[in-house]
């Protein structure tokens, strides 16, 4: 598995690969992630996993700091599952560029969890949008567990012109 912390280096490596599946995560990998990653490895030529605990999707600093991190174990899991690439960017690598594509936040973001988690879904869409611009994956593999997140990401992608 090749590890990248810098988007330019990652882009150079993957620019000629047209069948990358992308599994975005915030690390702390568990069985649920394993199922998604296995599915990706089985079905695609190359699998790229990201690990980034995205501060913009947390309402407060404390929750962000308390979020479980277990990088050494994550690495073991990713190697065992034969993931090709890991992208583990810094905050600046991901946020210090102007995106081509605008964030589309469907009004559904204000319903259900969105009523109580101000700014959460905007933070999710922002980071996913950035990952897509950097990686240009053919597929993104996301869990069904976070149903509202899944719907909002789909709506954002449908409104976007990425390539």
21 lines the binding site for ligand PAF (CB under 6 A): no
Question: Can you tell me which of 36, 81, 105, 124 binds ligand PAF, judged by CB under 6 A?
Answer: 124
Of 74, 66, 136, 68, nearest to 100 by C-alpha is: 136
Residues in contact with ligand PAF, shown as a per-residue x/- string from 43 to 72 under the rule CB under 6 A: -----------x--x---------------
DSSP state of 114: G
14's tokens: 């993957």
Separation of alpha carbons 40 and 23, rounded Å: 8
Q: Which span (3-11, 24-32, 71-79, 104-112) binds ligand PAF, by CB under 6 A?
A: 24-32
Q: Smaller CB distance to ligand PAF: residue 33 or 46?
A: 33
Q: Which run of H or E residues covers position 64? A: helix 61-66
- Decide if residue 102 touches ligand PAF (CB under 6 A): no
**Do residues 51 and 26 touch, judged by C-beta distance below 8 A?**
yes
Stretch in the footprint of ligand PAF (CB under 6 A) among 21-29, 35-43, 104-112, 154-162:
21-29
CA dist., res. 145 & res. 136, Å (int) = 24
Q: Residue 1 or residue 26: which is nearer to ligand PAF going by CB?
A: 26
- The closest of 131, 109, 104, 123 to 59, measured between CA atoms, is 123
Residue 25 contacts ligand PAF per CB under 6 A: yes
Binding site for ligand PAF (CB under 6 A): 24-26, 54, 57, 124, 127-128, 146, 149
């Amino acid at each position: 598995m090749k590890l990248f912390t810098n988007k330019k280096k990652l882009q150079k490596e993957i620019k000629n690969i047209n069948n990358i599946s992308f599994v975005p995560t915030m690390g702390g990998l568990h069985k649920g992630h394993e199922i998604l990653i296995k599915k990706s490895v089985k079905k695609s030529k190359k699998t790229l996993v990201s690990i980034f605990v995205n501060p913009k999707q947390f309402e407060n600093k404390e929750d962000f700091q308390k979020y479980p991190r277990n990088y050494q174990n994550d690495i073991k899991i990713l190697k065992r599952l034969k993931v090709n690439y890991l992208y583990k960017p810094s905050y600046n690598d991901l946020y210090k560029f102007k995106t081509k594509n605008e964030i589309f936040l469907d009004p559904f973001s204000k319903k259900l969890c969105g009523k109580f988690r101000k700014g959460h879904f905007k933070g999710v869409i922002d980071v996913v949008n950035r990952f897509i611009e950097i990686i240009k994956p053919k597929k993104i593999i996301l869990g069904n567990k976070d149903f509202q997140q899944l719907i909002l990401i789909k709506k954002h992608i449908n409104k976007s012109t990425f390539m």
